[in-house]
Structure formats: C-alpha cells, structure tokens
Structure 1
Amino acid sequence: MKRLSLGAFLGMAVLLIAASRYEKPPPEPPPKPRYFGTAVSPMDHERSDTFVRPVYVNGGWVSAAGPGGSTVTGALSLPMPWHPGLTVRVKWRRCQPYGKNCRWIEKDVLVHPYDHSGGTNLHILENDDVLIIPTMLAPNNPDYPGPGYPEKNFYARKGISK
C-alpha cells in the first residue's frame, strides 16, 4: 500500500478546510415590482335609463360612469410589466332614475395586456360585463382594442317633460 507524502497530505487538508469554509453567497432578492399610476375613465354602456355611481377600483373611488373621456377623477396603480392573470377588483352601484332600486355589483376583472398607458378605460357593458383597458388610444380610434364610447344619451330628458 502506498503512503501519501507529507506534502500531498497537507495539500488535501488545505483543500478540505477551504471547501468546508466555502459559503454560498446569499441569493439575490427578487426585483422590486415597479408600478405606474394611470387615470381611470369609467364608461356605462348599458342602454337602459339606469345610471352607475359610484365606481371603485381596488377599493379606491374613481368616479361615476358616464360617456367617457370628459372627466377623470380617480387613478389606479398598475405593475410594469403587465403579466398574465393580472386582475383588479371593480365595484359599482347601478340605480334606476331618482335613485330607486339600486344594487351593488362587485367582481374581479382581468386587465387587458399593455406595454404602456396614457390612461385606463373601464367599460361597464350589458349584463354587468367589465373591461379594463390601459391604453394610449381613445375609444374612437380604429385600433382601440375595446368598444367605442357609450352610445347611451346621458343627457336626454325622459318621461313627460321631454
């Protein structure tokens, strides 16, 4: 049987000690998500004479739903970049004229994919379907991925006093 020389033995000992003291560097923390703020313009597309107010997104008041594009009072924080499965919680109250027969509706809504956004359009459609579209385009642009502006006339006088 061959014996190790003193130099080989010491070399192996140094390697074992060095290996036992080797520590993995701590893992890098995941990158902090970046968010951006975007104004929200809620629009009511239901053709009935009901109205929607107020509208909340992720618990924050954004406005009453109207014809869109005219007044923006609320905002929403969205992550950058967009990722599949991104949702927001939308809650609104729909009432008949003079505040009668009001009902609250609340649902989680998928956010339409975006690369960048100049504003977010919230479309409340028939049957309480909802679209959230962050975009640089206005709803009347032919390349806009959702419905146009509501066709409902919010200012028409109804009833006997036409």
Structure 2
Amino acid sequence: MKIPILSFVRLHPIVSLLAMGVLLGSYALLHARSRADDRMGVSVNGVQHLGSDHLIHEFYVNKGYYGNVGEGGGGGSQTCCVTLPKNWYPGLKADVRWEVYRIIKPTDPALEETVESEGIYRAQVPVEAYREPGDFVVHFFPNGRVRIVVSSISPSGDGHPIRWRDAQASLLATTGTPVKEIFTAEEHAELDREDARDRAKYGNWR
C-alpha cells in the first residue's frame, strides 16, 4: 500500500510514557546486577544507512518509541532517554523493532512522493562494549540489519565506533526477524494496561 509521505505521522500510546520518563525505570537493558547508583540516563539516536530512497519513520527500543531516523543514508533524531549501566558487561542486549519504507518518487513533479513498506523487523541486539556511557546509537543497515553502540562522539565523527560509509560495518550487525506488526495484539493490550496504571498513578498528564 502506498501512502503520501507528507502525511506519514503516527504515534503509539506509549509515546506518552516518555513524557513522564517512565521508561527510565522499566528499561529492560538493566540487569539485576546493576544497582540504581550504577546506571544513568542517556539520549537515543537513530541512524540509517539505507540511502536516500528509504525511510525509517520510527523505531522502538524495549517497547519505547523513538523517531525519526533521517533519510539520505544518515541523519537521525536524538531523543531522551534510556538508562545504561555505567560499566558495560557481556550479555547486555536490547529489543529493537522498526519498519523500513521505500520512498517512491513520481515521474510527474506535480505529484507527492509516497512511501511503501518493505518490511517490519524485530531483533535482540547486543549493546557493543563501551568504556563509559554516551549516546545510545542504533544503526540501521539494509536487509533488516541493526547494530547498537554507545558513544559520546557523533555518528559522523571520526571517533565514532561505526565509521561513516564503512562498507564492512554491516557485517557485525544483527539480522532482524521479519514480523507482521510492531506489536502483537497481546502486547498492545499490555501497553494499554500499563497506560491505565500510569494514568491512575500520575493523573491525566498527556
């Protein structure tokens, strides 16, 4: 199905949770071995390496909403927040879900561009080793592949763990599993229950 790119805006109810920072407490990267004083909140940045003819409008990390990811083989949108252990340890992972769209440019310049879904993916992605907390950067590659690095250096900077335009960077990426939808009906129901609990606890803060 083709949809106008200019009207392509949709949010999941979980976006409201970000406003309260609820995700900081529930973020599943936290392992039982990490005490409260051993972790800190960091910004999230999505970067796509798919080229200017593709778009990732939104992505989710452990069911938390983040977007937009810039088109053109890069760009990105830095948002708040997830929590990370101050000290990396083996086995640190995150659940990442995203949908890839192809941008269709009409031959008639009077017509709007449209986007067509190429697939929805989900992956359990290792968080690559870091020496100190920095931005939580999710790198998206062609063929449903993804990597997570933590760095205080911009993705376009020379010192970023994934070098820009590195043809080998995707070889270490995790391949996502194609799924029919971002969240299952059961997950939607659970998110609605969590939203109702938060409303009861914090009031109608949207």
TM-score, normalization by structure 1: 0.64
Q: For structure 1, which runs of at least 5 residues remain unmatched after alignment?
A: 1-29, 151-162
- Which residue does 2:35 correspond to in 1? 32
1:83 corresponds to which residue? 89
The change in CA–CA distance for 1:117 and 1:80 in structure 2 (over 3 A counts) is closer
| Superposition pairs of residues 1-162 of structure 1, within 5 angstroms | 32=35, 34-47=38-51, 49-66=53-70, 67-68=74-75, 71-97=77-103, 98-148=114-164
What is the Cα deviation at residue 149 of structure 1? 7.2
Secondary structure of 1:64's aligned partner? coil
Structure 2 unaligned residues grouped into runs of 5+: 1-32, 104-113, 167-206
Which of the two has greater helix per residue?
A: 2
User: How many residues end up aligned between the 2 structures?
Assistant: 120
In the TM superposition, what whole-angstrom CA distance separates every residue of 1:10-33 from its partner, at most 9, and x where no partner exists? xxxxxxxxxxxxxxxxxxxx7735
Structure 1 position 102, deviation (Å):
4.6
CA RMSD of aligned residues (A): 2.3
Superposed CA deviations along residues 52-94 of structure 1, whole A, max 9, x for unmatched, are 121111110111211335x312422212311011110110111
If you compute each CA radius of gyration, which structure gives the higher value, 1 or 2? 1
Whole-angstrom distance in 2 between the partners of 1:31 and 1:87: 14
How many Å separate the matches in 2 of 1:135 and 1:145? 7
Q: Which runs of 4+ in 1 moved over 6 A?
A: none
- From the superposition, tell whether residues 72 and 142 of structure 1 become closer, same or farther in structure 2 (CA, over 3 Å): closer
- With the length of structure 2 as denominator, give the TM-score of the two structures: 0.52
Considering fraction of residues, name the structure with more strand: 1
Closer/same/farther in 2, CA of residues 31 and 41 from structure 1, 3 Å limit: closer
